[in-house]
Amino acid sequence: MNAEIIAVGSELLLGQINNTNARYLSAQLAGIGVNVYYHTVVGDNPDRVKKALEIADKRSELIIFTGGLGPTKDDLTKETIAKHLGVELAMDEDAMSSIEAYFSRNNRVMTDNNKKQALVLKGSQVLKNDNGMAPGMLYSKDSHHYMLLPGPPFEMEPMFAAYGIPAIMAKMEQQAKIVSRVLRFFGIGEAALETRLEDLIESQSNPTIAPLASESEVTIRLTAMHESEAAAISLIDEMEAKIMERVGHHLYGYDDTSLMLELSKLLKAKGMAVAAAESLTGGMFQQEMTSLPGASGLFKGGVVCYTNEAKINMLQVKKETIDEYGAVSEQCARELAENAARLLGADIGISFTGVAGPDELEGHPAGTVFIGIHMNGKPARVEKLLLSGSRGINRTRAVKYGCHLLINSLKG
Amino acid sequence: MNAEIIAVGSELLLGQINNTNARYLSAQLAGIGVNVYYHTVVGDNPDRVKKALEIADKRSELIIFTGGLGPTKDDLTKETIAKHLGVELAMDEDAMSSIEAYFSRNNRVMTDNNKKQALVLKGSQVLKNDNGMAPGMLYSKDSHHYMLLPGPPFEMEPMFAAYGIPAIMAKMEQQAKIVSRVLRFFGIGEAALETRLEDLIESQSNPTIAPLASESEVTIRLTAMHESEAAAISLIDEMEAKIMERVGHHLYGYDDTSLMLELSKLLKAKGMAVAAAESLTGGMFQQEMTSLPGASGLFKGGVVCYTNEAKINMLQVKKETIDEYGAVSEQCARELAENAARLLGADIGISFTGVAGPDELEGHPAGTVFIGIHMNGKPARVEKLLLSGSRGINRTRAVKYGCHLLINSLKG
C-alpha cells in the first residue's frame, strides 16, 4: 500500500511550526510496511486542498490528512473532502456526546461552532479522540482510503496509535503478514551500533533492519514479511539472536516502552519504592516517574534541591560536605541519595547533582553529573557522567542514565 | 511571487527527521513577502522528483529544492532538474576550488565523486556554500525560478540568508514588506475566541487573522503587507487594539514566548523567588522552571509530595488537615503553599494537589486540581480547577494554570 500525508494548515506554510505529524506518521507507517512516497503541506484554502487531493488521488492509495478538523471557519478539511468525494457529512452521536460532556465537565458553555466537530463523512469508520474533541475517521472508496486526523500532535498521535494503525492494517490486502519488532538500546551511539552490525545491515533482506537514533537512545526496527505470521516471527527471532550476540548488553526493552516504564515494572515486581533528590534535573526524574498511572505505589516523593540551602535544610546534607567538596561532588550525591530515602521512608534513594549548563559551576564544566543510588541500607553508589549536550539535553540524558543505573542495580 | 518548497530525501519519508528546512525557508520567505502555497517531500527517486517538479511548474513561480546535491549516487536533484529543463550541467570553477581547498584543509584525499558537487546548471547564479561543499544555485526560465539548496540545515540556512534571499528579492518585481505578529492567549478556547472575534475574522483582508490552538493555549497570527514597513506595523497595531478590546485580559505574551518564560521575566523584574510543593504534577512545574537558564535566582527548590506522608513529614501539613479535609482540598493546598515558601525561604509558595487520573481519589473525579499561591506573607489564595483531559494533559494544564495564576498575582 502506497501512502501520502497531506498536512492542512497555513501555520505550516508560514513557518510557524514544523510538520512533526508527517514525521510521526511516516515512522509509524514504515513499521507496518506501508510505503510513504509523498508529504504535502497545503494552507487552509479549499481550492488548494482540493487540488492537492486530486493529485494525491492519482498517485496514492492511502491518503492521510492532518489538521483542519477543529471548530473554526478555517477548519475545512472534512468539508472539502466530502465535496470532492460526493459524500454527505453526518452528525456522529458518540462524538457529539463526548464534546458536550467535555464542556459540561469544564463548566463552560458550548458555542455552536463546536458542533461542527462532531460531523463525520457518512459511512466512515470513526476514530475516537481520547485527548480532544474532533474525532478522526477512515473512509474508503474505489480502492482509495482517506484518513482524517486532527492537527494537534497530542491528539493525533495517541489516536493514530490506538485506532488509526489497526484500521489501516484491516484494509491492507494481506497476502503477506508483516511483523515488526523494535529493539531499544541505551548506552551505545547509533554510529557505534551500526559499525557493530555493519555486515547484517548491508546484507539485510527479510527481515529489514532499520536503526534510528533519538535522544540518548537507539532503536532497531526489525520487519519481516511472510505468508505465515509464525514464520515472520521466526525470521525476526533469528535476526534478533544475531544482534543480541553483539550488542545484547545494551538492550533494555522492546517496542513501545521507555527506561522509566521498565524501571517501574521492576520496582513493582520487587515491591520497592523510590525517593528522589534532584538538583540539576529540577524535578524531571520525578515528573517522568509520576507520569505513569499507578506511580503512587512505587514513588514516595522527593525534593528539588536546586539551591545549597535546600540541600542542607530539606535534605540534611552536611554543611561541611558542601563547603569541603562542593554541591557537585560524589560526597554530596551520596548524602542526597541516602537522606532522601531515609526522610521519605523509601527503599531506594536516587540523587542527581551536577552542572546542566550553559555555564560551568564550582569549577566543573557543563555536563558534569553525579548520580547517587542508595539501596537496601548500603552506602550509596555514585556514578560520574561527563555529558556534552545543551542544557536541556544534559538534563534529559542525566535522567535516562539514572533510570538505567537503577534498572541495573535492581537486576543485580 | 508564489513559492513551493520541495524537499528531496527518503529519510524524511521514513520519519527519521523533521523537515525543518521547509519551516525555516517558509518563515524567511514570509518575511520578504513571498507566499508559500505548498511544501512537498519526495524520496531520492528520479521519477518521483520529476513528477513533483512537473506539478510544481503548473502552480508555483518560485520552486525551491532542498537536498540531493551531495556526492553520492542517490543525490540526484541537480541531474533530474537539468534533464527536465533541458539544461546542461557545467563545472563551476569557484565551487571546484573551494571543494579542493576543503579537502586540503582537512588533510583528506578527495575521491572522484566529490567533483560532482561542483556541477551547476549552466547559466545559473551560483550561491556560495560557506559551511560545506555543494554550492546552491538559482536558475530562471520562462517566468519560473528554480533554487537548489543543500539539505543539511547548517549549510542551507546561512546560504539562504546570505545569498538566497538577495537573489530572490532581485527577481521580485514589487517589494511589499510583510510584517507578522503572534498574540498568545491563555484561559480561552479557540472556538470561544473565534466567536468573540467573528466579525473581524470574516472581514479580514490586510492584516490577515489566523487563530491556532495548541495545548491549553490559543495564538492569533496577524500578518500585514505594505510597501512601507511602518505602515504594515500600523495596520497590525490597529487590528491588535480591536482584538484587545474584546479578549485582551486573556493575552499573556507576543511571538516566541511561553507562560513560564513570562513568569520568569516578572519574577526577575520584581526580584522574587518561588518555592513549590507538587503532588499531582509530580515535579513538572519545577522541571519547567529550571529548564530556563538562570533559574537559580528565581527558584529556591521544592518538594514532590506525592504521598500524604511526604506532605506531613517534608512540608509540615497538619495531619488533622488531611484527616478532616483530605489531601485534595483547598485547606491542604493552602498549607502546602505557605509551608513550601517558609521552609525553603522563598517570597512565593505555589502548590499543586489534585487528581491527575485516570482513577478518582478521595471521592474527587480525575481532573480536580487545587492550586495554592502564597505571596507577601498573606494567607494563600487557592483556585480549584475541574479539568477533563487524560492524566498527562491534566498535569500539563495544571502547571500552565499555575503559571497563569502566578503571573496574574504578580501583576496585581
Q: What is the pLDDT of residue B113?
A: 79
Given phi > 0 = left and psi -120 to 50 = alpha, else beta, which region is B283? left
Mean pLDDT computed over A125-145: 93
Q: Does B234 touch chain A (CB under 8 A)?
A: no
Residue A59 is part of a domain; what is its CATH number? 3.40.980.10
Mean pLDDT computed over A261-285: 97
- Is the peptide bond preceding residue A207 cis, with omega within 30 degrees of 0? yes
Instruction: Select the residue of B14, B295, B344 nearest A26 (Cβ to Cβ).
Output: B14
Q: What is the pLDDT of residue A174?
A: 58
Give yes or no: residues B270 and B245 share one domain: no
Q: Per residue in B273-293, pLDDT tens?
A: 999 999 999 999 999 999 988
How far apart, in whole angstroms, are the C-alpha atoms of residue B376 and residue A322?
31
**Burial code of A116-146, b = ≥16 C-beta within 10 A, e = fewer?**
bbbbbbeebbbbebebbbbbbbbbbeeeebb
pLDDT above 70: percentage of residues in chain B: 99
Give yes or no: residues B100 and B57 share one domain: yes
Residue B217 is part of a domain; what is its CATH number? 3.30.70.2860
pLDDT range class, residue A105, cuts 50, 70, 90: confident
- Give Cα B168 distance to the centre of its chain: 26
Q: Per residue in B292-311, pLDDT tens?
A: 888 889 999 999 999 999 99
Give yes or no: residues A327 and A407 share one domain: yes
Give yes or no: residues B319 and B250 share one domain: no
Is 70 exceeded by the pLDDT of residue A51?
yes
CA distance to partner chain A, nearest, from residue B193 (Å): 10
Is 70 exceeded by the pLDDT of residue A305?
yes
Give yes or no: residues A245 and A299 share one domain: no
Is 70 exceeded by the pLDDT of residue B69?
yes
Q: What is the tally of structural domains in chain B? A: 3
- Residues present in chain A in total: 412
Q: What is the pLDDT of residue B258?
A: 92
Q: What is the pLDDT of residue B173?
A: 62
Cross-chain Cβ contact A38/B42 below 8 Å:
yes
Domain boundary residue, one of A147, A171, A195: A171
**Burial code of B95-131, b = ≥16 C-beta within 10 A, e = fewer?**
bbebbeebeeeeeeeeeeebebbbbbbeebbbbebee
* 3-class DSSP state of B102: helix
pLDDT range class, residue B145, cuts 50, 70, 90: very high
| Best of A280, A286, A289, A352 to mutate (most B CBs within 10 Å, chain B) | A286
CA distance to partner chain B, nearest, from residue A409 (Å): 24
pLDDT range class, residue A214, cuts 50, 70, 90: low
| Contact call for residues B406 and B274 (beta carbons, < 8 A) | yes
Q: What is the pLDDT of residue A178?
A: 74
Give yes or no: residues A77 and A131 share one domain: yes
Cross-chain Cβ contact B194/A107 below 8 Å:
no
Cross-chain Cβ contact B290/A310 below 8 Å:
no
Q: What is the pLDDT of residue A173?
A: 63
Give yes or no: residues B230 and B376 share one domain: no
Of A38-52, A89-103, B48-62, minimum mean pLDDT range: A89-103
Measured from the Cβ of residue B363, the count of other Cβ atoms closer than 10 Å reads: 9
pLDDT range class, residue A224, cuts 50, 70, 90: confident
Mean pLDDT computed over A230-237: 95
State the residue range of the domain holding A266: 259-411
Instruction: Select the residue of A15, A210, A391 nearest B24 (Cβ to Cβ).
Output: A15
Give yes or no: residues A238 and A293 share one domain: no
ipTM over 0.85: no
pLDDT range class, residue B380, cuts 50, 70, 90: very high
Q: Does A312 touch chain B (CB under 8 A)?
A: no
How far apart, in whole angstroms, are the C-alpha atoms of residue B154 and residue B276?
40
CA distance to partner chain B, nearest, from residue A152 (Å): 6
- Is the peptide bond preceding residue A135 cis, with omega within 30 degrees of 0? no
Of A3-17, A106-120, B256-270, minimum mean pLDDT range: A106-120
Q: In sequence order, what DSSP letters do the residues of A170-219 get, joined into one string?
A: HHS--SSEEEEEEEEEESS-HHHHHHHTHHHHHT--SSEEEEEEETTEEE
Considering only CA atoms, which of B397, B348, B398 is closest in space to residue B375?
B348
How far apart, in whole angstroms, are the C-alpha atoms of residue B97 and residue B153?
23
H or E segment at B62? Answer: strand B62-66
A144-149 and A136-141 strand pairing = antiparallel
How far apart, in whole angstroms, are the C-alpha atoms of residue A127 and residue A122?
13
Q: Per residue in A113-128, pLDDT tens?
A: 888 999 999 999 999 9
Q: Per residue in B73-130, pLDDT tens?
A: 778 899 999 999 999 999 999 999 988 887 787 677 777 778 889 999 999 999 999 8
Is 80 exceeded by the pLDDT of residue B216?
no
Give yes or no: residues B399 and B315 share one domain: yes
CA distance to partner chain A, nearest, from residue B280 (Å): 8
Give yes or no: residues B225 and B249 share one domain: yes
Is 80 exceeded by the pLDDT of residue B215?
no
Q: What are the two backbone dihedrals, phi and then psi, of residue A21, each rounded to the nearest 5 degrees?
A: -60, -40
Domain boundary residue, one of A139, A171, A203: A171
pLDDT range class, residue B407, cuts 50, 70, 90: very high
Is 90 exceeded by the pLDDT of residue A101?
no
Q: Per residue in B18-68, pLDDT tens?
A: 999 999 999 889 877 789 999 999 998 999 999 999 999 999 999 999 999
Domain boundary residue, one of B222, B254, B286: B254
Taking CA atoms, B233 is separated from A46, B167, B236, B237, in Å, by 29, 26, 5, 6
Q: Would you give the end-to-end CA distance of chain A in angstroms?
A: 46
C-alpha grid cell, residue B130: 560557506
* 3-class DSSP state of A304: strand
Residue of A nearest to B390 (CA): A131
Q: Does A310 touch chain B (CB under 8 A)?
A: yes
Q: Does B84 touch chain A (CB under 8 A)?
A: no
Q: What is the pLDDT of residue A191?
A: 73
Q: Does B261 touch chain A (CB under 8 A)?
A: no
List beta partners, residue B255: none
pLDDT above 90: percentage of residues in chain B: 67
Q: Does B304 touch chain A (CB under 8 A)?
A: yes
- Residues present in chain B in total: 412
Q: What is the pLDDT of residue A175?
A: 58
Which chain A residues are within 8 Å of B314, Cβ to Cβ? 301, 303, 314, 343-344
Residue B400 is part of a domain; what is its CATH number? 3.90.950.20
| Contact call for residues B8 and B49 (beta carbons, < 8 A) | yes
Count of pairs with CB atoms under 8 A, one residue in A, one in B: 280
More confident residue, B265 or B101: B265
CA distance to partner chain A, nearest, from residue B60 (Å): 12
Q: Per residue in B364-373, pLDDT tens?
A: 999 999 999 9
Count of alpha carbons within 13 angstroms of residue B203, beta-carbon side: 4
Window A:347-406, CB contacts with B under 8 Å: 356-359, 391-392, 395
Question: Residue holding cell 519547567?
Answer: B288
Q: What is the pLDDT of residue B174?
A: 58
Q: Per residue in A330-380, pLDDT tens?
A: 999 999 999 999 999 999 999 999 999 889 999 999 999 999 999 988 999
| DSSP E strand stretches across B193-311 | 208-214, 217-226, 251-254, 274-278, 299-304
CA distance to partner chain B, nearest, from residue A33 (Å): 11
Give yes or no: residues A199 and A299 share one domain: no
Window B:164-183, CB contacts with A under 8 Å: 180, 182
Give yes or no: residues A361 and A248 share one domain: no
